[in-house]
Structure formats: structure tokens, C-alpha cells
Amino acid sequence: MDRIDQLRIFIRVAQSGGFTVAADQLGLPRPTVSLAVQQLEARLGARLLNRTTRRVSLTQDGEALLERGMALVADSEELEQLFHPQAQALQGRLRVDLPSRIARHQVAPALPGFFARHPRLELNLGSSDRAVDLVHEGIDCALRVGEMASSSLVARPLGAFRMINCASPAYLTLHGVPERPAELPRHFAVNYASPGSNRAAAWEWVEEERLHTLPMQAQVAVNNAETYIACCLAGLGLIQIPAFDVREHLERGELVEVLPGWRAPSMPVQIIYPHRRHLSRRVKAFSDWLADLMGQCVE
């Protein structure tokens, strides 16, 4: 195993916080990962990691090597790409994270086309509605919806999802159709609480170029987009949702748009990467494909 491979393994161990997690992310046996770090330490004559039964942490020398090692690995990958013909088949494993509903309804059905172009790539596809830690969990790229908190992550904007308000016919029969925001206090919403905060988001609308918010009464709160829509279909309240996400339900009459003149602001969509200067060809190939795919949904 050469020095660059040893550095790659050390970086993954340092970022993930453990040999077993790093081995799983790299698809290598744990003893191979442990041996690579030991050999790197022996070669450098320095202890890089403090090891405990549960977790590893960086020594002072390890912290110094991590920053310089990441730059060296990135430079090495860039150098290799300069001499690889672009037509050469991409290979290797990608770790990607997507919102659950987008993964199920947009990405998974389109993946055969991606693999037809890149048959030697392997994809580890995570799908959830929580904001994963890309560095700690070894994720190559992720799709995120909503405003990005300031971070060291690199974002590639794709556009925005147009939002609509909707409810089921059963709900509207029972509670009436809201005609203006002033009527919202007598209605119920299905509250959405993000997995990270567990706090229900307020109802939002834009009026005269100003954002207005209103906490809604609700009988149920959820933290998953699939359940959010399912509760609306069951007649449990109003929801605010990207229009493409409920297009088929609207076409079949299972949901009805309400308050079309008072919609929530569009939600930005971006692909995010761990902070790095260069993307591998396989990450760039997948993110370009994903950007084209999501172009059908964003405005």
C-alpha cells in the first residue's frame, strides 16, 4: 500500500472517529485499515491517533498531518485526472445522501440510466430527512433543500422548489376552504418538525413582498415528508409542500390547492460537498447527472 492510500485511510479514520466506521465507509477489512495507520505512523515516526475502546482522536501531530494530508491527497487525485482519458470508464464507490422522497420518486427510478453510462460505479445511497454530517459519515455529496446554515461545506445551487398550500377534499368538506390568511387560525395544519430541531415549522406566506409567519394548531406533527403528505391525504390538515412533490395527487383530485395567492417562499435546492478543492471524476459525474435530473423539478 503506497503513502497516498495510507493517507486516504488515515483521513477517513480521523474524520469518522473510528477504525470500524472508516473500514465500513471504505469497504475494507478493519485490520487493513488499522495496519495502514500503523504503517503510516511508523513511516513518519509519530503517533497520529489516541485510541480508546470507543473512539479515536487526533494527537497534535495527527492534527497537523490531517490538514496537509487532505491537500496532498487532493493534489494527487487532480494529477491523476490530468492523465486519464476522459473516455476511461469511471469506477469506484460513491456515498450519497438525499431527502427520502426525492430518493424514492425522482432518483431511484432514473438510476438505470445513470448506471448504463457508468456501469463500473457503485452507489451507496442514503435517504433520510435529517442533515447528515458529510465529513464524519464519509459522504461524497448530498442534496439539500432549504436555506443552508453557514458552514465549511461547498454548495452547488440548482434552483428552487415552488411551494404550494394544499388539503384533501375530505378536510375541506369538514372545515371549509380558507380564502385568505386571516382565516387560518380556525384551521388545522399537519405540522412538520425537522429531525434536527424537533420544532414545528410555522405556516409561511408572502404578501406584498413581505414574509409572514403563523404558528398553526395541529393534531399531528411529523418529521418525514412521506408521512407529512400521507397525513394530509388522510384529512388531518393543511400542508405546505413543493408543487412537484404532490403533482400526481393534485391531478387525481386527492389533494386540492388552497390559498394560491399566499404561498410560502420557494425553497432553494443545492448539491453540497465536503470542503475540498477538487472533486473526483466519479463525484462530478454523479452530481452533473443529479443536477440534470433535478432540473425537471426546480424553477
Q: CA-to-CA distance for 13 and 55, rounded, in angstroms?
A: 10
Least-confidence region, from 86-90, 143-147, 253-257: 86-90
Q: Which CATH architecture has domain 163-265?
A: 3-Layer(aba) Sandwich (3.40)
Name residue 93's beta-bridge partners: 122
Least-confidence region, from 3-17, 51-65, 84-98, 213-227: 84-98
Q: Residue ranges per domain, the chain?
A: 3-83, 92-161+268-294, 163-265
17: region left, alpha or beta (phi > 0 left; psi from -120 to 50 alpha): left
Mean pLDDT taken over the chain:
87
Residue the block writes with cell 485490520: 31
Q: State mean pLDDT over 172-181.
A: 96
Total residue count of the chain as it appears in this document: 299
Question: In the structure, what pLDDT confidence band is assigned to residue 277 with cuts at 50, 70 and 90?
Answer: low
Give residue 294's pLDDT: 93
Q: Is the pLDDT of residue 87 over 70?
A: no
Q: What is the pTM of this model?
A: 0.72
What is the three-class DSSP state of 232?
Answer: helix
Q: Which CATH architecture has domain 3-83?
A: Orthogonal Bundle (1.10)
Backbone angles phi, psi at 5, to 5 degrees: -65, -40
| Cell, residue 94 | 460513491
**Among 228, 204, 252, CA closest to 100:** 228
Asked if the domains 3-83 and 163-265 are classified in one and the same CATH topology, the answer is no
Give residue 51's pLDDT: 82
What is the three-class DSSP state of 247?
Answer: helix
Q: List pLDDT tens digits, range 1-26.
A: 788 888 888 888 888 888 888 888 88
299: which DSSP letter?
-
**Among 296, 247, 297, 293, CA closest to 96:** 293
CATH class given for the domain over 92-161+268-294: alpha beta
Q: Which helix (H) or strand (E) holds 154?
A: strand 154-161
Cβ atoms of 266 and 206 within 8 Å: the answer is no
Strand-strand pairing, 210-214 and 141-145: unpaired
